[in-house]
Structure formats: C-alpha cells, structure tokens
Amino acid sequence: MVTTHLTHWGAFEADSDGERLTAVRPWRDDPEPMRLIENVASAQHHPTRVDQPYVRLGWLEHGPGAPGRGEDPFVPVSWEKALDLLAGELGRVYREHGAEAVYGGSYGWASAGRFHHAQSQLHRFLNCLGGYVRHVNSYSLGVSQVLMPHVLGHLGLLLEHATSKTVLAEHTELVVAFGGLSPKNAAVAPGGVSRHNTRGWIGAARARGCRFVSVTPLRDDTPAEADAEWLAPRPGSDTALMLALAQVLDVEGLADKAFLDKYTVGYERFIGYVRGADGTVKSPEWAAALTGLPAERIRALAREMAGARTFVTVSWSLQRAQYGEQPLWLGLVLAAMLGQVGLPGGGFGHGYGSAANVGEPAREFSPPRLPQGLNRVDTFIPVARIADMLLNPGQPFDYDGQHLTYPDIRLVYWAGGNPFHHHQDLARLRTAFARPETVVVHDPFWSSTARHADFVIPSTMSIERDDYGAGENDRILFPMKAITRPHGNARDDYATFAELAERLGAGKEFTEGRTAEDWLRHLYEEWRLRHTGHDLPDFDTFWASEHIELPVPDPQQILCADFRADPERFPLSTPSGKIEIFSETIDSFGYPDCPGHPAWLEPEEWLGAPAAAEFPLQLVANQPRTKLHSQLDVGEFSQAAKIAAREPVRLHPDDAAARNLHDGDLVRIRSPRGTCLAGLIIDDAVRQGVAQLSTGAWYDPDPTNPTFCRHGNPNVLTPDRPSSTLSQGCAGQLSLVEIERYEGTVPNLSVNQPPAKAAANHLS
C-alpha cells in the first residue's frame, strides 16, 4: 500500500505492510525534499516507543506528591487501571484545589494533523472539567509576540502577510539577513510543508543579481545558492551593529525623512540616543569595539543599504536571547529609515529562514480544526516561565505592563511536547518538576519529559491514525490516512480523553457523541459549508484524493503595501496606527531591561563580559539539522549524525588547536549551570570564539548529578532567564562555556532504551 502523508518537515510517500513502513520517499511534488523523513520509519517501533500505560512506582505506593519523580521505575498497568487511577486523581485535584491548580502544558510540536492536534485535544478535555492554567506565546517567538504589537502590529502580520518570496526573488537588490537564512530551519513549519522552496527563491534572486549579506556566527546559516558575504560579529552584539548602521544613515543624510515623518512616530527620541544623548555616539568605531567588525565595513554596508532596494530580515534566533527585543526592533527601525517598507522587494521581514511558512502568501482561510471550548480560568504564564511558576507559587511577576502572580500548581498535564527539550537550565526544571503532586504525560516515546512523569499514556504517531492537515500558510490540505496499526497498545489521545471524560461525567460534552471518524467528517463538512463560494469537494471526494488546494488571494503580497498607500485608511494596529520607533506604551512600563526605544544593553553572557575569562567560548544553541527540535531523535537519520552516540559540537580550528582537541574527540562542555558531553567537529564555518551545539538531544542526566547530561543537550548549559520583563521570553540561544577533552570513563546512555520497569504483580 502506497500512501501520501504529512509531517512538520514535509510530505512523503510510504509503503507499508500494515505493521510498519517498509519504505519512505519524499513527496514527488516537493522540489527541495528533506531527508528528515527518514527518521519516521526507523523510529516507529524503536525500543523507546511507549507500548502501554505506565505509572511511576513511588506514586502507586505512596500516592500524589511521592518523591522519586525522574528516578523511580515504572509499573506497566492495564488501560482500565491507568484510566481509573488518573480519573480519580483529576477528580481529587479539581475538587480539592480547583481548576487553577491544573497546568495544561501541551506546548510543542506533536505530530502533524488538525483533529489529533495534541494541544487542542488536551485543552478541550480540561475545559470540559472546568478549565486550566494556560501558557501564552512560544519559546521560538516569545519576544516577538509581545514586542511587535507595540511597534508594528500583531505578529500574524509578519508571519502570514510577509512579503512573498517570489516578490523578493523578482525585485530585491540587497538582502541583509541578521541571523542568516538557514535552510535547515526553513525546512519545517507548524503543521507541515508541502513544497519546500528556500533554495529556489534565493537562487533565483542571486541569478538576477541580488546580493546577500549574512550576519551570523555560522557561515552555513545561509544556503550556498545565496553566494552570501559573511559578516560574523560577536554573538549578542547585533544591536550595536544595527545602531551604528542607523548612525551612518543619519549622519550622512541617507535616512528617508519623508517616510519617517509620515509613517512612524518617535524617530527624534531614538535618533537623539544614536547621536549621543547618553554621552556615547553610536558610531561604527564604537560598534567595531563591541562587534569585532571593521568600522569601515559597517559604514560601507549602511551606504549599500541606502543605495539599493534593500530587504532587512531578522531571524527568530536573535530574539531568543537576553534583551532580544533590541535587535528585532532595530531591524524594523533600519527598514523604516531606508523608507522602503511597503515597496516590492524592500522593507522588513522576520523569520525568513526560520520557518518554511514565512514568505508564503496568505491563504484565504485556514483548514478545519477541533474547537477547544471555553477556559473559565483567567490565570496564565508566559510559556518560558514554567520553572519559575512551579518553584514560586504565590510570587508576583511583571509581564507586558501587567502585575501577575504565579499560581499554585498541583497537577501538570502534558500532551504532545517535551519541555525537557525546549526549556533552559534543565537541572532547575527537574527540581521544578518535582514540586507538583502529579505529572501526566501523553507521548509516543519515552522522551525525557515522559521519564519525569507519574502517568505515562502511550499516544499514536500520525502514521497510525486517520487525520488531515496543512501547514501554517500552506495552500495544500492533505488527507492523512492511517498507514499502519498502532505500536503496541498505543491509543489516540482522543480515545484516551473520551474515556477519561466519561469517568468524570463530562463524556457527552467532550465527544458530543462522535467517534474520531465522525469528527473528521463533521469538522470538514462544517468547514466546507462556511466557504460555499469556493469549489471545495465533499468529504468523501476529498478523502479519496491525494490533496486539495486552498485559495490564495494575492500570491504577490507585500508587507504593509496598503499601509504605505494610505496610512489613514489602512493604519497599523499599534497604539498610534504607525510604526513606533519610540513606544510611549513600553516607556510607560518603566522596565530598565526594555526602554521606550531600542538601545544597547550589554548581555550578561557574551564574549565581552567578565564571565568570559572563565568561560571563553560563546555557545550558540541553535536548531538541529537532522530532526525537528527533539522529535524523532532516535530515528536513523538523526542517530547517524551523532559522534560516539552524542550530539556533535562544532568549533573553529583555532579554538580546537588551543585546547589540543581533534575531530571526533569526546568533549565535555561546561557552563556556570552544568556540563554535557558531545562529539567534536572542527569546522571553519563557525566563527572563532564560538561553539555551536544544536538542541534536540534527549536529556540524559547522570543519576547522581542532574546538571550533567551524558547525551549532549545544550539546555543543561543555558540560563533560565527571561529576555526582559516586557516579554518574559526564552533567552536560550546564547551562553558562555568552556570545552575540554573528556578523560573519564565514558558513561552509558539511558535515553535509547525504555526506563526501568517494576514488577506489577502486586496490582490486581
């Protein structure tokens, strides 16, 4: 049987014998197929698949709050026993502590598909019980989601209505990419990618004569097709570079004053700072001392930007750092100073090369999705503050001008994500996860989060169930038919929640009397009837097809074109209706770590900090090439890239020679927070003074020392601090480290096998 299926990193065609995938190939219509699909078949029946429900031994013997989470063995139990125990515990917590004691985590990249979307399923279920404490924003874009509404508009403007890549390919003369245009990041998008095109549009632009300048510590952050000039400032110093570019545009009369006067507010406040209102002129010479780039190259780049149709784009990586608001805001300011916002091929972008959906023209409407119901709990946290919440119940915190309080969480319910991948300072998170009375995790695999749970509920992979899906801003909607039977006794999350809801008296509210198959048909037909003006097939015709295409009104869309044409009729959604170079709102909050206009704020951990004396390398913890975040880390393609079964770390030849290190060495990386092992790759594509270790290796703490990861997860090294008080966003991209050859006995890994099991004979 040959079936087409969809993943977050692309569509594929699979052969199956009904039990497993026997062959996996990229979808024939994908012009730039991704090898990540090779992980799917090899991971499906890996020893780390969860084959039935499990309960932690300590919880079974001593009840909620029993110590030993993350250390105890697990007891395999029947579905009936697991659901009875779990329903009883949910009932107890809601009854004794209320809905504000339940955190509905479910952050992250569960399998693609709209109905079986794990977060939607969990939140719908918890809403039927009375609600839950939720999170807002994301680890990827936590800063952008808060800052952009103040200065440009809702982030959806930049994600869904960004200038089309085809427009850039046809009109742009110079692309200045802060953080690069990474082809590996552009391989993925939430919900899926039908046709990858990053190398295509960049190659077409370059062939037409467009120049690319890639500003990043990693040369391969931009594909070879760009033939890019590589500028590698010290990581964390992009703000200084951008301020110096603004200073040159100002002092040489290159700023478009007419545009600034008509379309922006607050320029004079900002440019006064650039000119030295604080006693320091932000000149190229000033920036050269901070960035390590020659002052004359900075000055020349500003002139080049003013002399061409220039597109300024800032990757998501720059805002995933302390004071990440500043370079993101400055990218917009530079585009405004050039006066090209709203013009074909000019202006500003955020996330080109960060996800496949950025630069895809907006579709007219989104695909069907499961309604989540009403959450009757108002309490929330910024997503990257989960450890703070668990460790500090009742403590106040500020966020985006609001004064909030952390709730007292007794039960954490997680489905479809792995916080022990996304979060920073994992030893601290491990301590935080020990505090709730009960932790429940749905997962297809024994991920690091599942190993820190009390209840582990086995979920199906998308290839084991019927669904349909389309990526964000992707025009192709695929039927996603089950290709194989589920592994072991795994069940769909919907089936699990339906049985739990029935035990808790909310069965009718959750299921509305429908099976999963009924829901697929109901949601699709309801969606089709809402869009009767379009030629959408009925469900049976759609289900029998390979895919259908959703309408795209403006394939040549240009960000803010309407605003530029008529700012009175099409104002931005900012408080002023214009681009806010100085924000009265942000300024009114009085946050010293995020003032009212972009400014240079020296990070605590960068190569110019005092801590660099002990930790003289800048770690760049970027996204991996061989997997999506930590997803399918046990797959063959991901495993083949490891060195001595560890995640690889890249180091410049001069830095390796100074430490007497060689290709393939097993090394220990240490930071002020912890240590991890990694396999060394020596590569001059990495800036000197930088160590690049991608995220995604499953956290494998030493049994006696949770600050030591034996597998190579960089988040034992990264600091759990917010970008700023404004956004409380993730700052996990950069930290200071040192690297040395590992001389001890090589420790065994536990992540590639299921955790220890305890005898279940005492359970009837």
Q: Which residues are catalytic?
A: 107, 109
Q: In which element (H, E) is residue 500 found?
A: helix 493-503
- Please say whether the beta carbons of 45 and 23 come within 8 A: no
C-beta separation of 284 from 248 below 8 A: yes
Nearest to 69 by CA among 454, 520, 374: 454
3-state helix, strand, coil in the chain (%, to 5): 35, 20, 50
Q: What angle do CA 61, 442, 464 make, to 5 degrees?
A: 130
β-strands 380-382, 134-136: how paired?
parallel
Tell how strand 455-458 and strand 438-443 pair up.
parallel
Strand 579-580 relative to strand 648-651, pairing? unpaired
Beta bridge partners, 381, equal: 135
Q: What is the DSSP string of 590-641?
A: T-TTS-SS------SSSTTSGGGGTS-EEEE----SSSBTTBTTTSHHHHHT
d(CA 208, CA 198): 16
Query: Taking the CA of residue 556 as centre, how many other CA atoms within 13 Å lie in the half-sphere pointing to its CB?
Result: 7
Rounded distance between C-alpha atoms, residue 208 and residue 210, angstroms: 6
Distance, in Å, from the CA atom of 328 to the CA atom of 136, rounded to the nearest integer, reads 20
Q: Where are the alpha helices (DSSP H) in 98-192?
A: 118-129, 144-151, 156-160, 165-171
SS3 749: coil
Secondary structure class of 349 (helix, strand, coil): strand
SS3 681: strand
CA distance 524 to 480: 13
Ramachandran angles phi, psi of 712, nearest 5°? 110, 30
Question: How far is residue 141's CA from residue 119's CA, in Å, rounded to a whole number?
Answer: 18
Cα separation, 414 vs 108, whole angstroms: 10
Calculate the alpha carbon distances from 13 to 6, 37, 603 in Å: 9, 10, 47
Which helix (H) or strand (E) segment is 89 a member of?
Answer: helix 79-97
Cβ neighbours of 262 (radius 10 Å): 12
- What is the C-alpha separation between 158 and 155, in angstroms, rounded? 5
Nearest CA to 454 out of 470, 468, 441 is that of 441
CB neighbours (10 Å) of residue 660? 9
In this structure, how many other beta carbons lie within 10 angstroms of the beta carbon of residue 663? 13
